Structure 1
Amino acid sequence: MLRPRIIPSLLIHDNGLVKTVNFKNPKYVGDPINAVKIFNEKEVDELVVFDIDATVNNAEPNYNLIEKLAVQSRMPLCYGGGVKTVEQAQRIFSLGVEKIAFSSAVLETPELIMEVSERVGNQSVIVVLDIKKKLLGGYEIYTHNGKKSAGVDPFKFIEQAQKLGAGEIIINSIDKDGVMKGFDFSLLDKLRKQISVPMTVLGGAGSLADLKEVIDRYGVIGVAAGSLFVFKGVYKAVLINYPSKEDKMNLFKNLYENS
């Protein structure tokens, strides 16, 4: 039986592991390689790593770091950051990465989705949409760590991305990033109806109850979190953590009972 995926989301800045709030003020929380090793021990479902410097600096992906992450990872690994061409994507896959997340590159050149999916299979092509509420209502996609509006309607782009071969869509709420007070269900309810490929949600998880609410609401889905899996307690002490097998069964309880 298919089940939801519980996915730690790691941000890389200056080769270190950081956490942001609303995509701002990255706070150093440790070494990314060490975090991967700990998540290995905790037998996580999947890991997503975003290099938040690459696109902003118009830099090549850090292949050396990607290779180190892939070598250490005993779980499916998704990497995002600075990938603009099929050749870059193929090089990253050759290092042992299972999925590549695209954002600004496919917003500028949507055909890249089709080009990569035809080479490696659509299951490996992930489209990440960083979405923020507009002041006067509605939603907008942003790139470059939330600094640049893509000028693209998220609902229309999701439809286009799926037609071009996107294998998964990650919806990341800029407004909820690092706040740890729950997901933007107003946004997710609207988008869920439109997404026919696997969907992963990110931005807002502050407790296991928040993860459970997503699963109860949407069923088999990817639920990603950053702060929840690197901080612990009210004072946000840095501690890499992940739900135990028993905790995960409780998260999936309603899903199994209703199947």
Structure 2
Amino acid sequence: MWTPDAYQGAPTPSTAFLAAGAKMGAMAGLLRVVVHGLEPWQDMVLPIVIAIAVASMIVGNFVAIWQRDVKRLLAYSSIAHTGYMLVGIAVVHAHSEAGGLMRDAVAAVMFYAVVYALMTLGAFAVTFAVERRTDGTDLENFQNLGRSSPLMAVAMAIFMISLTGIPPAAGFFGKLYLLQVAVNAGLTWVAVVLVLTSTVSAYYYLRVVVNMYMVDIQPRLLPVPASTAIGAVVAIGMIGTLVLGIYPAGAVEWAQAAFEEAGKLAISP
């Protein structure tokens, strides 16, 4: 697993791109391949996709529990989030006829990918600000952030809550849509794994929040924002996460309509 070492060793802005942008591109490409290219091999490919999804959810979440560096924690959790999205990919592959459940599964994956990108970019932006001010990204570097930099701490708490999947954050609805399509596709046991591993993730995500608000040490002063660029990324991530949490249906309906329109273009002469 190269991801944790790459995330920890790379500059934090590059890590944010790897975690968010690259993953969105990979999921978009994988959706295209699954929708248009793998139908003849469905019986062979589907068990592999499900196995990778389940392994990613379990390994990513359980190994993240032991991490004290926030960048490594987010790296292992990104493996778990890849597993969540692969659950939707599995449903797409299992129901490769156009429309219906396939449309809903594609929309669920697209919605989750966008939400994940917003949450992750925001979380890494806060981490970068903390790193610049304290010269580290361990959990200890986040201690008492709620007092020394309240706005950054509130933003990070929103990102951690959403990544966990606690309502009414956008991450909750992203996981809910993936659960719905998995259950409707008959992959109930995979949906159960998703729920259980998401519950495990609450421990390490909320541990960041605990360090920001409930550990009383000498304040580490942090400019708010650390720079205009960091502040802008944090604001965009936080606003996007909140808006998609308040009104997720609009984004999902747009994704469904986009899939249907793409299907029409694909079959038009």
Q: TM-score, normalised by structure 1?
A: 0.25
Which structure carries more helix by proportion? 2
Which structure carries more strand by proportion? 1
Bigger relative contact order, structure 1 or 2 (CA pairs below 8 A, ≥6 apart): 2
Q: Bigger radius of gyration, 1 or 2? A: 2
Q: TM-score, normalised by structure 2?
A: 0.25
